[in-house]
Amino acid sequence: MLEMELFKDKRSKSLILIAHCIINQNAKSDGTASYGGTITEIMELLNSTRVGIVQMPCPELHCLGLDRSDKLGSTRHVIEENSRIRNEMKQVKSLEKINILIKSLVYQIEEYLKNGFEIKGIIGINRSPSCGVESTSKENKEITGQGIFIKELEKVLTKKDIHIPFAGIKTFEPENALSTVKKMIGLNE
């Protein structure tokens, strides 16, 4: 049987996975959006390269809704509200939804890898109760550690022996965020 090599067209076969709110700030919890739509600097950078973009789902939106199950969320300090959201995301119902989201995302990752694509990395949002990579919010503090979604995603990938670098950014630090993404995709500054 003749085996065909697929995907010999113009695609780069190079990808980066990014937190949902990098492309869609409208999904962020109330009072935390730093941009009107997308994080402009990062999107302009990625659009100028040959790196494809996989937008990860917003676990908080899927589990708690746009108002994060509390219409008064924006009246609290961001760390306090993020800690409340983290506690909600640890509930059984939320964890079940997170596992479904991760299963779908890991399937996509496996498909790309199986077909010879390079995944440059996964970019999360530091301080986030869900998508934090180097820091998250817990007990009304920003602490070192991962958000609930990122921690579970990394656990599943590790169990499947899939090793992809993770990095976190803060949307209100655009220069640092841009530097992190440049390093992830292999651009020298």
Phi, psi of 110, rounded to the nearest 5 degrees: -60, -40
Angle at the Cα of 21 (from 17 to 22), degrees rounded to 5? Answer: 60
In sequence order, what are the residues at sequence separation of 6 or more whose Cβ sits closer than 8 angstroms to the Cβ of residue 29? 60, 68, 73, 74, 81, 82, 85
- Residue 155: strand, helix, or coil: helix
- Domain definitions of the chain by residue range: 37-49+58-185
Give the model's pLDDT for residue 8: 84
CB atoms < 10 A from the CB of 15, how many?
A: 22
- What pLDDT is attached to residue 4? 67
Across-strand partners of 144?
Answer: 135
Q: At 56, list the tokens.
A: 């990860």
pLDDT truncated to tens, each residue of the chain (189 aa)? 556 678 888 999 999 999 999 999 999 999 999 999 999 999 999 999 999 999 999 999 999 999 999 999 999 999 999 999 999 999 999 999 999 999 999 999 999 999 999 999 999 999 999 999 999 999 999 999 999 999 999 999 999 999 999 999 998 898 999 999 999 999 875
C-alpha 37: how far from its chain's center?
16
Q: Which residue pairs, CB below 8 angstroms and at least 24 apart, start in 186-189? A: 186/120, 187/45, 187/49
Give pLDDT, residue 3: 63
Q: How much is the pLDDT for 54?
A: 98
8 A C-beta contact, residue 25 and residue 33: yes
Q: What is the pLDDT of residue 184?
A: 95
Alpha carbon distance 114, 111 (integer Å): 5
Helix or strand holding residue 14 (H, E):
strand 14-18
Token pair recorded at residue 141: 């503090």
Provide the pLDDT for residue 186: 92
Residues 151 and 122: their CA atoms lie apart, in Å, by: 12
Q: At how many degrees (to 10) do helices 174-185 and 40-47 cross?
A: 20
